[in-house]
Amino acid sequence: MLVKLKIFRFDPEKDKEPYYQTYEVEADPRDRLLDCLNRIRSEQDPTLSYRWSCGHGICGSDGMRINGICGLPCQKLVKDFKDEVLLEPFPVFRVIKDLIVDLESFFEKYHSIKPYLITKSAPPGQERLQSPEDQHLFEDAIRCIFCACCTAACPINQNPETAAYVGPAALVRAFRYLFDSRDEGTEERTALLDHKDGAWGCQTLWKCTEVCPKEIPVTKQIARIKKRIYEVKQPKQ
Ligand code: SF4
Ligand code: FES
C-alpha cells in the first residue's frame, strides 16, 4: 500500500519558520509508522530527523504527535491509518530539529521526585525482601518507559501558566516508590509533591491515561498519591 506522511520540518540552523513536507512510501499493511520513517530517511531524505532505538515499544525514545495524539510510531501499524498521516513533534517541549524535542525539563522533573528507593533502617544481612502481594501494588508503574507521551499530552503541562506542574510521568515514578513496601521515604517524598505544581497540579483530565502506550492507569495512580499525601498529614493517633 502507498502511505502518505505529512511531516513537521524545522532546522533552527537554516529555517526561519517550521514547515510541513509530504512523503509517499510503499509499505506492507503490517509495517509500523516507524518503518515508513526509516524508509524515507534511507531512500528519500537523509536530513529527516527523529529519535528511535529499540523499534519495539521498549526504549521510549520515538514519542511524537501522530494525527494530533501523542504516541510511539513503532507501535502504530500503517493499516490502521487512512489517507495522510500527520507527524509532528511533541508539544510542551522545545523543538531541536524536525521531530526531535529537548527533554531536559522532562528529566529534571523526573529527578525532582527522588526516583530511587529511600531507606533509613540498617541494611539487612541479605537483600530487602518483599512479598509478591506487596510488589503487585506498584507493578503497573514499573512498566513506564519514560516516553513522555503522558506529559506532552497533559493540558496542564501544555498551558504556559501551569507548565511548572511536575507532570504525570514523574508522578508515576513517585507512585512506584510511595507504594513500595521497602521504601522508607514516604514523608520526604509526599512533602515534595504536596503543592500546586506537584500532585495537586493534576486536574484529573485523563489525557495521560488515554495516551500511555504501556496502559498504565496514570490518572488513578495520581489520585492514589493525593490520598497518600492527605493520609501522611493526618495527626498520628
Ligand atoms: Fe510513557 Fe506511560 Fe510512562 Fe507516561 S506513564 S512516560 S506515557 S510509559
Ligand atoms: Fe523504542 Fe519506539 S523505538 S519505544
**Sites in the chain below the pLDDT cut of 50:** none
Distance CA 166, CA 136 (A): 25
79-117 burial, b at 16+ Cβ within 10 Å, e below that, comes to: eebeeebbbbbbbbbebbbbbbbebebbeebbeebeeee
Q: Name all residues whose Cβ lies below 6 A of ligand 1.
A: 144-150, 168-169, 172, 211-214, 216, 218
Q: In the structure grid, which three cell numbers stand for residue 145, read together? A: 518507559
Point out which residues pair with 62 in neighbouring strands.
Answer: none
Mutate to test the pocket of ligand 1, among 61, 70, 150 (most ligand atoms within 8 A of CB): 150
SS3 string, 205-234, reads CCHHHHHCCCCCCHHHHHHHHHHHHHHHHC
Integer CA distances (angstroms), 88 to 45, 102, 201, in order? 17, 14, 26
Which ligand has the nearest atom to the CA of 35?
A: 2
Nearest CA to ligand 1 atom 3: 144
Bridging pattern class, strands 95-97 and 100-101:
antiparallel
What is the CA 109 to chain-centroid distance, rounded? Answer: 12
| Residue located via cell numbers 511548572 | 164
Going by alpha carbons, the residue nearest to atom 3 of ligand 2 is 55
Which ligand gives the minimal distance to the CA of 72? Answer: 2
Q: Whose CA is nearest to atom 2 of ligand 1?
A: 212
Q: Which ligand is nearest to the CA of 62?
A: 2
**142: CA distance to ligand 2 center in Å?**
17
- Residue 224 CA to ligand 1 center (angstroms) comes to 17
Task: Give me the residue label for grid cell 537554516.
Answer: 14
Separation between Cα atoms, residue 185 and residue 183, nearest integer Å: 6
What pTM does this model have? 0.95
- Residue 236 confidence (pLDDT): 77
Distance of alpha carbon 175 from alpha carbon 191, whole angstroms: 13
pLDDT at 204: 98
pLDDT of residue 83: 86
The Å distance, Cα 69 to ligand 1 centre, comes to: 14
CA distances from 213 to 25, 57, 70, 150 (A): 25, 8, 9, 9
> In a mutational test of the pocket of ligand 1, which residue from 56, 66, 206, 216 has the highest number of ligand atoms less than 8 Å from its CB?
216
Closest ligand to Cα 56: 2
